[in-house]
């Protein structure tokens, strides 16, 4: 992860992910609540952005 910024609505933080962190799963292994919901792998490489269907976390490919 490289940075966290706000999206254009300002409500949900956008988590920027570097290619070294792929494949991306949510929750991420370093998250404190890693067992919050079932682990799901998000296809970030296809469009450059993805949202978790369980918690709504929004991820963006940084590079």
| Cα separation, 55 vs 60, whole angstroms | 15
The pLDDT value recorded for residue 63 is: 76
Closest CA to 9 of 52, 62, 56, 41: 56
As a whole number, mean pLDDT of residues 8-15 equals: 69
Quick: pLDDT tens for 17-63. Answer: 999 989 999 998 888 776 689 999 999 888 999 999 999 999 999 97
Q: Where are the alpha helices (DSSP H) in the chain?
A: 44-47
43: how many CB neighbours lie within 10 A of its CB?
A: 10
**What does pTM read for this prediction?**
0.72
pLDDT for the residue numbered 31? 80
């Amino acid at each position: 992860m490289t940075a966290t910024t706000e999206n254009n609505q300002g409500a949900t933080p956008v988590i920027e992910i570097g290619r070294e962190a792929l494949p991306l799963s949510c929750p991420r292994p370093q998250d404190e609540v890693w067992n919050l919901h079932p682990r799901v792998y998000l296809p970030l490489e296809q469009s450059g952005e993805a949202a978790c269907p369980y918690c709504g976390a929004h991820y963006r490919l940084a590079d």
